Amino acid sequence: MTYLKKILLTTIITFCSYNLALAKARIPIGKIDKLEIVSDLPNTDEYLSKEESNTHLDLARLHQEYSIAWIPVWITQEPKLVLAKPDSDRYYELSNEQLEKIISTNKLDKEQLLKSGFYTQYGGKIILFLLVCLILYGIFGKDKNKDVKPINL
C-alpha cells in the first residue's frame, strides 16, 4: 500500500512540475509594427470606415521597430501616416494626394506628426548602452587584491 502511495505522489509531483516548466514567460525579441493615433480627425462622413458604418477613422503614425523585452532598440521602417480605427490594429494606407488633402483640410503639420518621441528614438539605445557599460565594468572594473596590513591598537 505504501508503495502505491509513493508512485501516486511521484506521478502528481511530476505532472505539476511539468506544467510549471511549460508556463515560463517568454521575453519578446524582434520586429513589431507600432500604430499610434497622432491626430483626431473630425467625425464626418469623409472619415467614416468603409467596413463599419459607425466607426470614424483618425490619422495615425505607423512604423516598425526592433525591440527587446518591449524596449524599442531601433526603428527599422521610417514612420508614415495612415488612417486607423481608434483602439484597433486595423489601418488604411493613403496615397500622397489623399494625405496632402487631409493635412491641408485639417491644417496639420506633417513633419510634427511624423516625428517619433524621444524614448522611441533614443530610449532603447541609451538603456542598451548603459547595460553594456555595466557588464564591462563588472568584468574589467573590479579592484585587484591589495595587500592590507592590520593596524595594531
Q: What is the pLDDT of residues 8-56, one digit of tens each?
A: 667 777 766 655 545 566 778 889 999 999 988 888 878 777 777 678 8
Q: How many domains does the chain have?
A: 1
Q: 22 in a domain, yes or no?
A: no
Q: 35 in a domain, yes or no?
A: yes
Q: 21 in a domain, yes or no?
A: no
- Region at 22 (left for phi over 0; alpha for psi -120 to 50; beta for the rest): alpha
| Residue 64 reports pLDDT greater than 90 | yes
Q: 2 in a domain, yes or no?
A: no
Give CB contacts under 8 A, 24+ apart, made by 123-131.
123/71, 123/72, 124/67, 124/68, 124/71, 124/72, 124/73, 124/74, 125/73, 125/74, 127/71, 128/68, 128/71, 128/73
pTM of the prediction?
0.67
Range of the domain at 108: 29-137
Q: 15 in a domain, yes or no?
A: no
